[in-house]
Chain A
Amino acid sequence: MDMINHEQRVDIDVHDMRLLEAIQDGLPLVPRPYAELAQQLGMGEREVTARLSLLQMKGVIKRFGVVVRHHELGYRANAMVVWDIPDQQVETIGALFGAFPFVTLCYRRPRRLPVWPYNLFTMIHGRDRDEVLLRVRELVAACGLDGVTYDVLFSRRRFKQRGAHYGIGARDGDPRSQRFGIS
């Protein structure tokens, strides 16, 4: 019950889960944040930092540190830019895209023909729409993608935004979901 087994999964135990839950809104801003978490979770301070270190090594935590808010820092425009990249090239192009500093997500997803021909998804932030479009042209030029079909889906209204609920926190009959910050 402690292990989550699935093809892409790695072993995370309930203590890791509780730790991830405890830091979902960030470290407490106190001189010894890990000691405070440790007390809250009934672990040792060293155990908390060791688990966080291990979760990073295992790749469960992709990045541990400051998470900024783009919008508040002046990046008012964002678009999901979707690309129809030939299957044999998608790996290479995906890796190239993922390295540009203004690309903040880069995923391969399935096409759903005939309604949805795109297989590579990027998120691009800019101060305004023009800057986002400039970045898109930069990607096309830098990666030699002339002739590739893409579409730019600017975001308009935000109806909901919060950390993900995975509903894996249920324990002792507690149906409460756990939230994680995935960006």
Chain B
Amino acid sequence: MSNVMPLLSEIDRRLLDEYQRDFPLSERPFADIATELGVDEAKVLERFGYLKRLGALSRVGAVLRPNRVGASTLAALAVPAERLEEVAALVNAFPEVNHNYEREHAYNLWFVVTASDQDGVQRVLRRIAAATGLEPLDLPMLEDYFIDLGFSLRWI
């Protein structure tokens, strides 16, 4: 989990920075990228594999718009400090929960609940309240203002 930035070549940086959106939908996308970068297809595939093993690359894939598929909410619990690990484990045990983080606030445990529909989300929140004895804040997304153009490594 260390900073891998120093281990990246110029080609690696360009692969990470310039192909975050509109990835080619051609028969041989990696060959197209190779042509643009002036290397060969095998090199591009080899570098993507390296970047994935290194952990710098999560995936070459799709970022979905929230709430177009299924339902979800952001939930928070104000957990007494001495119960935090116990409650985090209770919450983690729900398969509908992902992204469970401790954050610095009176509401100190933040997680996302996803289900096939809104009723499913509400059911999980009620079960979490029952299991923990704590009342979750239910903060569903109302509007998404984030135009995801990717994470520019250039502004570093």
Q: How far is the CA of A117 from the CA of B95 in the complex (A)?
A: 29
B16 and A106 form a contact (CB under 8 A)? no
Q: Considering only CB atoms, which chain A residue lies closest to B88 in the complex?
A: A159
B55 an interface residue at 8 Å Cβ cutoff?
A: yes
Q: Within the assembled complex, what's the spacing in Å between the Cα atoms of A167 and B114?
A: 8
- Partner among A62, A70, A94 whose Cβ is within 8 Å of the Cβ of B145: A94
Give bound CA distance, A180 to B68, whole Å.
12
Q: Bound complex: CA of A159 vs CA of B85, how far in Å?
A: 9
Determine whether the beta carbon of A158 is less than 8 Å from that of B101.
yes
Q: Smallest distance from the beta carbon of A105 to chain B beta carbons, Å?
A: 5
B64 interface residue per 8 A CB criterion? yes
Q: Is the CB of A68 within 8 A of B16?
A: yes
Given contacts A68-B58, A73-B5, A153-B104, are A62 and B99 in contact (CB under 8 A)? no
Is there an interface contact between A62 and B98, defined as CB atoms closer than 8 Å?
Answer: no
A67 touches B61 (CB 8 A): yes
Using CB atoms, name the residue of chain B closest to A24.
B61
* Residue A144 is within 8 A (CB to CB) of chain B in the complex: no
Instruction: Please state if B112 and A65 are interface contacts (CB–CB under 8 Å).
Output: no
Count residues of chain A with CB under 8 A from any CB of chain B.
Answer: 88
B134 within 8 A of A: no
A69 contacts B by Cβ under 8 Å: yes
Contacting pair B149 A26 (CB below 8 A): no
Inter-chain contact A72/B54, CB cutoff 8 Å: yes
Q: Is the CB of A110 within 8 A of B139?
A: yes
Closest to B68 in A: A60
Known interface pairs A66-B19, A159-B102, A161-B98; A25-B64 also in contact (CB < 8 Å): no
Residue-wise interface mask of A (95-122) relative to B, using a CB-CB cutoff of 8 A (1 in contact, 0 not): 1011101111111111010011000010
Q: Is the CB of B58 within 8 A of A63?
A: no
Cα distance, A182 to B102, chains bound together (Å):
19
CA distance A10 to B136 in the complex (A): 30
Tell me, yes or no, whether B137 is within 8 Å of chain A by CB: yes
* Residues B19 and A20 in contact, CB atoms below 8 Å apart: no
Residues of B within 8 A of A (CB): 1-5, 15-16, 19-23, 25-31, 41, 45, 48-49, 52, 54-72, 74, 76, 88-89, 91-92, 95-105, 107, 109-112, 114-117, 120, 137-153, 155-156
**Interface of A with B (CB < 8 Å)?**
4, 6, 8-10, 12, 17, 20, 23-27, 29-35, 45, 49, 52-53, 55, 59-74, 76, 80, 90-91, 94-95, 97-99, 101-110, 112, 115-116, 121, 125, 151-168, 177, 180-183
Pairs across A and B, CB under 8 Å, 8 listed: A27-B29, A60-B69, A68-B16, A102-B155, A104-B146, A108-B145, A154-B103, A165-B114
